Amino acid sequence: MPQSSRVQKAVFPVAGLGTRFLPATKASPKEMLPIVDKPLIQYAVEEAYAAGIRHMIFVTGRSKRAIEDHFDTAYELEAELEAAGKDELLALVRSVQPSDMDCAFVRQPRSLGLGHAVLCAEPLVGREPFAVLLADDLMVGPPGGAPVLAQMMSAFRQQGRSVIAVQEVPADQVHRYGIVAGESAGGPLIRIERIVEKPKAADAPSRMGVAGRYILTPGVFEEIRQQPRGVGGEIQLTDGIARLLGKEAVYAYQYSGKRYDCGSKEGFLEATVELALQHPQVGASFREYLRGLEL
Ligand code: G1P
């Protein structure tokens, strides 16, 4: 029987070391790197909130304190802004944690992989379907359309089964992604028959790469617990999903919108330029500035 309970919790694995962004990430979490004026993690939390989720679970590690502080009250800052009558800034600061949203933090004691990080959240998730958002992947919905996780929620409501965001990736990049293959299930949905983590181009079953958004049924926890270590010696989420496939249907969802791989310098810069161009305060002047550059 399809599981139909609501998705009320989102898991954000944020324990990674961010080695691709050293030295910036030596003492600060990579998820706190800003795109224009907002840290990456806040974009992901806002996407989960826009999809109706109110319980945010962060799987964190050492040197990640700034993330907890970001989603907490900033007492001194708020008191000073209030005293100075800076109401707009005060509202902006308070909007980071809406009053109907709660945040929980659990530690991943060792870097054993994404699957292991998700498993660390199990005691807080329980036996419910849940979302996983990788903040490195900044996802922007189509102009005027629903954000990516909200699109996936509609698919989950229809299917009652796990739904994973995918996009076509260039052949020379399949080794960076979880790759899925399967049968079209109508519209943007593919019923997954195979999923493999970071295959060589020659072994890849397709070019459909997993983007960092998942809605998973709780059965995946048991699979992750039992699976051996995978690519890179890590406990991979992809391997847990591959095992889940043997027990229940799992769907890939070809989302509408754009993904910026902000775990890479190029993706981070692309997101910065494109989101700056759309920014209400700086967009127009930044466009002028770019036009004046000799490239
Ligand atoms: C992770 C997943 C991979 C997925 C990717 C999306 O890899 O393991 O399956 O395609 O996120 O960004 P990572 O980029 O953390 O190595």
Per DSSP bridges, beta strands 137-140 and 162-168 are unpaired
- Mutation test of ligand 1: which of 118, 177, 206 has the most ligand atoms closer than 8 Å to its C-beta? 177
- Domain range list for the chain: 3-291
Which residue's C-alpha comes closest to atom 7 of ligand 1? 177
pLDDT for 78-107, tens place per residue? Answer: 999 999 999 999 999 999 999 999 999 999
Whether 1 shows a pLDDT value over 50: the answer reads: no
pTM of this prediction? 0.95
97 Cβ contact list (under 8 Å, min separation 6): 71, 72, 73, 103
> If you measure from the C-alpha of residue 230 to the centroid of ligand 1, how many angstroms do you get, rounded to a whole number?
13
Residue with token string 């070391």: 17
- Mutation test of ligand 1: which of 30, 116, 134, 234 has the most ligand atoms closer than 8 Å to its C-beta? 134
Q: What is the mean pLDDT of the chain?
A: 95
pLDDT for 230-244, tens place per residue? Answer: 888 999 999 999 999
141 within ligand 1 shell (Cβ under 6 A): no
For the chain, what percent of residues have pLDDT higher than 90? Answer: 92
At 127, list the tokens: 């036996």
Closest ligand 1 atom, residue 236 Cα: 8
132 Cβ contact list (under 8 Å, min separation 6): 10, 11, 12, 13, 118, 212, 213, 214, 215, 216, 237
> If you measure from the C-alpha of residue 197 to the centroid of ligand 1, how many angstroms do you get, rounded to a whole number?
8
Q: Topology of domain 3-291, per CATH?
A: Spore Coat Polysaccharide Biosynthesis Protein SpsA; Chain A (3.90.550)
d(CA 112, CA 81): 42
Whether 39 shows a pLDDT value over 70: the answer reads: yes
pLDDT for 206-265, tens place per residue? Answer: 999 999 999 999 999 999 999 999 888 999 999 999 999 999 999 999 999 999 999 999
212 within ligand 1 shell (Cβ under 6 A): yes
- Band of residue 200 on the pLDDT scale cut at 50, 70, 90: very high
Closest ligand 1 atom, residue 114 Cα: 8
210 within ligand 1 shell (Cβ under 6 A): yes
> If you measure from the C-alpha of residue 185 to the centroid of ligand 1, how many angstroms do you get, rounded to a whole number?
24
- Band of residue 18 on the pLDDT scale cut at 50, 70, 90: confident
Whether 295 shows a pLDDT value over 80: the answer reads: yes
